[in-house]
Homo-oligomer: A and B are copies of this chain.
Amino acid sequence: MSDAIKVLDHGFVRLVDTMGDEQAIVDAARVSYQQGTQKTRNNRGLIRYLMRRGHTSPLEMCELKIHVKMPIFVARQWIRHRTASLNEVSGRYSVLPSEFYLPEKDCIKMQSKQNKQGGSEPVSSSIASVVQDVMKEGALQNYQDYENILQGYGVCEIARETARMVLPLSLYTEMYWKIDLHNLLHFLRLRLDSHAQYEIRVYAEAIAKIVQDWVPIVWEAFVDYKLEAHPFSRQEMDVIRRVFASYEGDGSVQGTPREVREFFAAVALKES
């Protein structure tokens, strides 16, 4: 059982188990393509080909299971990814522990005007202090209420499922989470994005490290063809093609011969 990676003030990501590796992806792909893959010299070439072409089904042959502890408002975003299995601690069965997320000062930001869903610049240190204090006090008061209700003010034990309603979204929760590699990469693409909320992005970053260690060639291909790739719209492609009309080519396009050929086709250039 691996060590947990600390995330935020009380959270973590802990690798529990994996199924499969890069060889497993290649084995599954070769079942599908057989003769179609004969010429592919090596695993790396095949994996990059699969990623580039969006032939994602062999990636589903790998599976990751982690144990995660995160604030409830993060869990609520997380669980929107439906193609995964999970077991979360239940506030009906258990008394939830007193652990709350308190943002660092420089994570308390002004509401962005352009990005409706996020923040922009950190607020001043003094305002941040006030916010932290209010958050901390509120959370402690909520937890005090929770305990009091649980204990029925000394008279009778009240149902956990009722008492928990007073707990705030900053409370930490835990889950086992299991997902296949294809769907995991999709999760990471969305949650590593600069528009993702900081507090889930740091979990995505911790998981990205695990993936990078686990299947480094897949990760590299994912970065090249998905994470740092850029899609241009039909209209933008018109501009790109016009600009490239006067491009002479300088041999600098990297990739397999097929990739180079396709790049030139995309920008509507004869190969120089």
Contacts and interface: CB of A to CB of B under 8 A. Distances in A.
Interface of A: 16-20, 24, 27-29, 31-37, 52, 54, 57-58, 60-61, 63, 65, 67, 71-73, 76, 79-80, 82-83, 85-95, 101, 103, 107-112, 116-120, 123-124, 127, 130-131, 134-135, 138-139, 141-142, 145, 148-150, 152-153, 155-162, 164-170, 174-176, 178, 180, 190, 197, 223-225, 227-240, 242-244, 247, 252-255, 259, 263, 266-267
A168 B170 contact: no
A223 B149 CA distance: 37
A116 B258 CA distance: 13
A255 to B, nearest CB: 6
Given A119-B161, A134-B145, A161-B119, A32 B88 contact: yes
Given A31-B175, A233-B224, A237-B229, A65 B116 contact: no
A153 B32 CA distance: 27
A253 B117 CA distance: 26
Contact of A112 (B123, B159, B242): B159
Name which of A165, A167, A170, A242 has the most chain B CB atoms within 10 A of its CB.
Answer: A165
A232 B230 contact: yes
Contact of A93 (B32, B150, B253): B32
Name which of A33, A103, A124 has the most chain B CB atoms within 10 A of its CB.
Answer: A33
B176 A27 contact: yes
Contacts of A87: 28-29, 31-32, 57-58, 61
A267 to B, nearest CB: 8
25 contacts: A16-B24, A18-B19, A31-B87, A32-B90, A33-B93, A34-B90, A35-B93, A35-B95, A36-B94, A54-B190, A72-B169, A90-B117, A103-B162, A111-B150, A124-B155, A124-B156, A130-B153, A141-B141, A142-B168, A166-B170, A228-B233, A232-B263, A232-B266, A239-B263, A243-B243
Contact of A152 (B33, B37, B127, B159): B127
A116 B36 contact: yes
B149 A142 contact: no
Contacts of A239: 252-253, 263
A167 B232 CA distance: 40
